[in-house]
């Protein structure tokens, strides 16, 4: 049975967990990996997202090596990078960082890259990168200051969370909305099902 396989999410992100639950997938274990996410010199944002997802998945696999509790497990990792051109916009921890990011994004199109990495029970490694283009309207000073006061920018790449108040800033989105939130659902489901994890098993359970 597919459900005999366990799924480990190598992330502590509540957004990624909620997105998985949205499509009927509930990880058996959350395993956040605390890695250095500093970009390499001249590293492209797409490459960074792919590399970090890969490193998180392999770090989780190493941590679980020899653990008898997880003999038959899938490991899923993801990383999201927000960029203006080749310029990577980091997660904002201070209000001045968030303010600077929002002024940069105002009236412009930026890209959001989410890297996915899946390690199968047979230790095969599968990767996928999803690119989404997002255009913000021109933001007024009042809009930026009000958004900063909300606190929804804290810890967010690019200083915003699209699923919150900042959704009202978006003029156009080309690609995956769920990827901008933190996990591209179409690609994640395809990746899991393509490697033998029955993502529809719980859909058949009585609601």
Query: Number of folded domains in the chain?
Result: 1
For the packed helices 95-105 and 141-150, what is the interaxial angle rounded to 10 degrees?
A: 140
What is the Cα–Cα distance from 147 to 142, expressed in whole angstroms?
8
pLDDT at 207: 60
Q: Is the pLDDT of residue 2 over 60?
A: no
pLDDT (mean) for 70-86: 93
Tens digits of residue pLDDT in 11-41: 989 999 999 999 999 999 999 988 888 888 8
What is the Cα–Cα distance from 91 to 114, expressed in whole angstroms?
14
Tens digits of residue pLDDT in 118-171: 999 999 999 999 999 999 999 999 999 999 999 999 999 999 999 999 999 999
Say if residues 31 and 20 touch (Cβ distance below 8 Å): no
Element (H, E) at 8: strand 6-9
pLDDT at 201: 80
pLDDT at 202: 75
Is 34 an active-site residue? no
Q: Is the pLDDT of residue 106 over 50?
A: yes
What is the Cα–Cα distance from 160 to 151, expressed in whole angstroms?
9
Tens digits of residue pLDDT in 176-204: 999 999 999 999 999 999 999 988 887 87
Residues 6+ apart with CB under 8 A from 41: none
Q: Is the pLDDT of residue 63 over 50?
A: yes
CA atoms within 13 A on the CB side of 144: 20
**DSSP tag of 140:** P
Q: Can you name the residues that pair with 134 across neighbouring β-strands?
A: 110, 173
CATH number at residue 35: 3.90.950.10
For the chain, the distance separating the N- and C-terminal CA atoms, rounded to the nearest angstrom, is 20
What is the Cα–Cα distance from 86 to 84, expressed in whole angstroms?
6
The pLDDT-based confidence of 1 (bands split at 50, 70, 90) is: very low
Q: How much is the pTM? A: 0.93
What is the Cα–Cα distance from 137 to 165, expressed in whole angstroms?
14
Catalytic residue among 36, 79, 96, 198: 79
Burial readout 161-174 (b: 16 or more C-beta within 10 A, e: otherwise): bbbeebeebeeebe
Q: Which domain holds residue 46?
A: 2-204
């Amino acid at each position: 049975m597919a459900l005999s396989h366990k799924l480990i999410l190598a992330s502590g992100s509540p957004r990624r967990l909620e997105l998985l639950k949205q499509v009927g997938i509930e990880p058996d274990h959350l395993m956040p990996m605390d890695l250095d996410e500093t970009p390499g010199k001249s590293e492209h944002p797409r490459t960074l997202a792919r590399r970090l997802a890969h490193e998180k998945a392999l770090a989780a696999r190493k941590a679980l090596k020899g653990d008898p509790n997880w003999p038959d497990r899938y490991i899923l990792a993801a990383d999201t990078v927000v960029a203006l051109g080749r310029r990577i916009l980091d997660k904002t921890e201070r209000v001045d960082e968030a303010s600077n990011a929002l002024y940069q994004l105002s009236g412009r199109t930026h890209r959001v890259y989410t890297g996915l990495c899946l390690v199968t029970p047979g230790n095969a490694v599968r990767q996928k990168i999803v690119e989404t283009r997002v255009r913000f309207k021109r933001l007024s000073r009042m809009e930026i200051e009000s958004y900063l006061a909300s606190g929804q920018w804290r810890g967010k790449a690019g200083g915003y969370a699209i699923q919150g108040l900042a959704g009202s800033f978006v003029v156009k989105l080309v690609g995956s909305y769920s990827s901008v939130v933190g996990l591209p659902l179409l690609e994640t489901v395809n990746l899991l099902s393509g490697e033998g994890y029955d993502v529809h098993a719980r859909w058949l359970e009585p609601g």
